[in-house]
Amino acid sequence: MRTVTDFFGSMVFNDQVMKERLPKEVYDSLQNTIQNGKHLDLSVANIVANAMKDWAIEKGATHYTHWFQPMTGITAEKHDSFISPKSNSTVIMEFSGKELVKGESDASSFPSGGLRATFEARGYTAWDPTSYAFIKDGALCIPTAFCSYGGEALDKKTPLLRSMEVLNKAAVKILHLFGNEDVTSVKATVGPEQEYFLVDKEMYNKRPDLVYTGRTLFGAKPPKGQELDDHYFGTIKPQIKSFMKDLDYELWSLGVFAKTEHNEAAPSQHELAPVFTTTNLATDHNQLTMELMQKLAKKHGLVCLLHEKPFDGVNGSGKHNNWSLSTNTGMNLFEPGETPSENAQFLLFLCAVIKAVDRYQDALRISVASAGNDHRLGANEAPPAIISIFLGEELTEILNAIENDEKVGSKEKEQMRVGVHILPKFPKDTSDRNRTSPFAFTGNKFEFRMLGSGASIADTNTALNTAVTQILNEFYEALVDAKDFNKALHDLIRKTIKDHKRIFFNGNGYDDAWIKEAEERGLSNLKSTPEALSHLLDEKNIELYTKNKVFSEKELRSRYEILLGSYSKVINIEALTMIDMAKKLIIPAVSKYTKDLLKTEKIKNELGVVTCYEKEIGNKLSELLCEAYKLTLELEEKRAEVHKLKGAYEKASAYESVVLETMNRLRAVVDEAESLTAREYWPMPDYGELLFGVR
Ligand code: ADP
Ligand code: MG
């Protein structure tokens, strides 16, 4: 039997394969590109391409593709075969360095937000050698960045790589101030915990809302939801178990470090957590994970729902972005350490995150904004869209002591001086008690919990990396020429705590009182995607991204258009689906049931038999039908009006305040009708069946 170690990464052109298959000079030269971003010579690229091709063909591949992440958030690929005609009847298998390094694809159907005129529809894909090539479905996939003719980023990977690069530089500079001269690179590491739902495929196919929009647009609450908490970490059902086994196998073959799989809080909800890795790899791996989840579920008679809120009334799905910084020397910069110097360095990096999160609350909120995620943030049953940091009591106490020049705890004799004294130990296991915090320090990393389950993690990590870079650069300026380094450091840390402590919150983030308190503290609470996006082009944010060269202003403006545009499109499709379902499925079904009820009532009357149920329910349903019909017409009309609006923001905003609002009213009426309609008349699987239907 093949063991996991035998097949782990077997479909990846990884370091080991490169070492085995590339001549030493070529390998070294490629390493120089991977580690230090040095330009790759075409002659080297040719040899690498050839080795890749031979390896891929041995593994059964016939095609290659530049695999990239357009701004829509899904991954895109265009397959070319390796074949090249040799004579009239024979072919050879070819793949050149030029084809490896740069691809050209007709990009006119990918959103560019005005970055590219249609007459220059070409888009270029450029190999990202820091992420290994891999084989998927018989194609050699080459992870790439995707740019316009003019070099503007048309994807999510390019800005992410830029943000990693600037963060690297900023962090290394700071570490050198602390005397860590041996550190030559700092990378952000990420472990994204992925939540998802699995539902029965047959039932899924009977729900147009799930098919077209990924979420249920109607659905009365079932008698049982998640209130018993009996699903969380519960025994995994055999059908799910075999899906997870397949998923692990495929992910491991692709070198994805899938580690933990368990049931989540809601019925039918599950989670997969990988072992953390470098940000761009983690991003690629997360895209692959989502793709494989959807593909493999079908093989097991299931459908994987990655929507952030497939069902009202039960938990939605998110993605917890565990983020930290690590050096080439193996240091985790958010590990508090043992010596005064290590402690001081930890405190400085901690303060950089605190200041970054406080100053760029809106940029972080924007990075997780989507129509789907709006149901998880700031909506009726969801926690507020307020960003705050959980530090835990022990660490908060230390920061308070520094701020107020006090002693920490009763045992300490002297006031805490950063860089001079050793921090009192704070236990790690108490640091993650508060699961309601959107941004929690969890001992040696931060966990940002606002991401939606369906989104690429690239946006958030780009925002986080850039914000932290900006602050690290500011800190560097404040420290570089200091005569007394420790004093300057102490003052800087103290001032940062003073200025930004409003972002600390260890309490219950789901509590209504917090909304009021956060407002008093001046924290931002951007409830919807249009509202959040309206701040993307605030001067502060433009400056953040352009100064750090992560986005040009033109790129930012294009993203603003695309994000608002896709929000409007999502709501538009949802509204059309609702109208369609109401007219073609629901209203006719309820009408039929009402007719049968009233017919029975009539017969009973003729026979002189007592009736009550038929008339009462028949009446009530007739009323609801009228109401539902009127609201469907209203929705139709409003959708059409809003659809005609021009400006991206005006349109998205009207979809939210007008169309979505009408959709919610229609849903309420239909859900009430569902709860009164006999099961056999209801034209699709209900919540109970969807949520508890997998055996
Ligand atoms: P949980 O949140 O379920 O208690 P952990 O906190 O142990 O579990 O880990 C959750 C995720 O955090 C995992 O994906 C793990 O790989 C990731 N993680 C752990 N350490 C780091 C780190 N230094 N950088 C980034 N992610 C990390
Ligand atoms: Mg976690």
User: Which CATH number goes with the domain that contains 581?
Assistant: 1.20.120.1560
94 in any annotated domain: yes
- E runs forming strands in 170-214: 186-200
Domain boundary among 155, 188, 223: 155
* pLDDT per position as a tens digit, 91-141: 788 888 888 877 666 556 666 666 655 445 566 777 888 889 999 999 999
Residues of the chain with pLDDT under 70: 1, 103-123, 409-414, 427-433
Residues 544 and 681 reside in one and the same domain: no
> Do residues 438 and 383 lie in contact, with contact meaning Cβ atoms separated by under 8 Å?
yes
Residue 324 CA to ligand 2 center (angstroms) comes to 13
Same-domain pairing of 177 and 246: yes
Tokens (6 digits) for 150: 């003019």
Cα separation, 439 vs 449, in Å, equals 6
Residue 332 is given by DSSP the state B
**Of residues 448, 463, 465, the one with CA closest to residue 532:** 463
Cα(210)–Cα(215) distance, integer angstroms: 5
Which runs of E-coded beta strand occur in 227-373? 258-263, 269-274, 277-278, 302-305, 318-327
**N-terminal to C-terminal alpha carbon distance within the chain:** 29
Pocket test for ligand 1, best of 275, 320, 445 (most atoms within 8 A of CB): 445
Q: Answer yes or no: is 556 within a domain.
A: no
- The domain in which residue 617 lies consists of 565-692
> How many distinct structural domains can be found in the chain?
3
Residue at 557 is within a domain: no
What does the DSSP 8-state code read for residue 585? I
Q: Which ligand is nearest the CA of 193, by number?
A: 1
Residue 560 in any domain: the answer is no
| Whether residue 76 is found in the same domain as residue 206 | no
- Which of 505, 525, 551 is the C-terminal boundary of a domain? 551
Task: Encode pLDDT of 185-236 as tens digits.
Answer: 999 999 999 999 999 999 999 999 999 999 999 999 988 777 777 777 778 8
User: How far apart (Å, rounded) are the C-alpha atoms in residues 19 and 4?
Assistant: 21
Q: Is the CB of 322 under 6 A from ligand 1?
A: yes
Find out whether 562 and 111 touch, Cβ atoms under 8 Å: yes
Separation of CA 321 and ligand 2 centre (Å): 8
The strand pair at 139-148 and 63-67 is best described as parallel
Residue bearing the CA closest to ligand 1, atom 4: 432
Q: Using CA atoms, how far apart are residues 467 and 187, in angstroms rounded to an integer?
A: 15
Co-location of 63 and 189 in the same domain? no
**Cα 89 to ligand 1 centroid, rounded to whole Å:** 55
Structure confidence at residue 82 (pLDDT)? 87
User: Would you state the pLDDT for residue 119?
Assistant: 46
The pLDDT, as a whole number, for residue 40 is 78
CA 275 – ligand 1 centroid, Å: 7
Number of helices (H) and strands (E) in the chain: give both, helices first: 24, 18
What residue ranges in 500-640 does DSSP mark as E strands?
A: none
SS3 635: helix
- The closest of 578, 574, 573 to 671, measured between CA atoms, is 578
Identify whether 534 is part of a domain: yes
Residues 527 and 667 in one domain: no
| 17: nearest Cα among 29, 6, 27 | 27
The verdict on the CB of residue 277 being under 6 Å from ligand 1 is no
Residues pairing with 441 in the sheet: 446
Residue 427 Cα, ligand 1 centroid: separation in angstroms? 17
- Rounded Cα gap, residues 34 and 525, in angstroms: 40
Report yes or no on 197 lying in a domain. yes
Ligand 2 midpoint to CA 231 (Å): 18
> What's the confidence (pLDDT) of residue 118?
45
CATH number of the domain residue 228 falls in:
3.30.590.10
Asked if residue 265 and residue 169 are part of one domain, the reply reads yes
- Distance from the CA of 283 to the center of ligand 1, in angstroms? 15
Q: Which of 529, 551, 573 is the last residue of a domain?
A: 551
Alpha-carbon span 72 to 435, nearest angstrom: 30
* Structural domain contains residue 210: yes
Kindly state if the Cβ of 334 falls inside 6 Å of ligand 1: no
Q: Which ligand is nearest to the CA of 461?
A: 1
Give φ, ψ of 84 to 5 degrees. -140, 125
Whether residue 571 is found in the same domain as residue 468: no
Which residues are CB-neighbours of 10 under 8 A, at least 6 positions away? Answer: 59, 253
Residue 326 tokens read as: 């690590």
Q: What is the pLDDT of residue 466?
A: 98
| Structural domain contains residue 533 | yes
The reply to whether ligand 1 has any atom less than 6 angstroms from the CB of 443 is no
Same domain, yes or no, for 534 and 414? yes
What are the pLDDT digits (tens) for 363-380?
A: 999 999 999 999 999 887
Are residues 422 and 275 located together in one domain of the fold?
A: yes
Q: Is the CB of 194 within 6 Å of ligand 1?
A: no
**CATH number, position 97:** 3.10.20.70
Q: What is the dihedral of CA 578, 670, 217, 202, to 10 degrees?
A: -100
**Residues 36, 124 share a domain:** yes
Structure tokens at 321: 């972005």
Does the C-beta of 193 come closer than 6 Å to ligand 1? yes
Are 621 and 508 part of one and the same domain? no
Q: Are residues 349 and 411 in the same domain?
A: yes
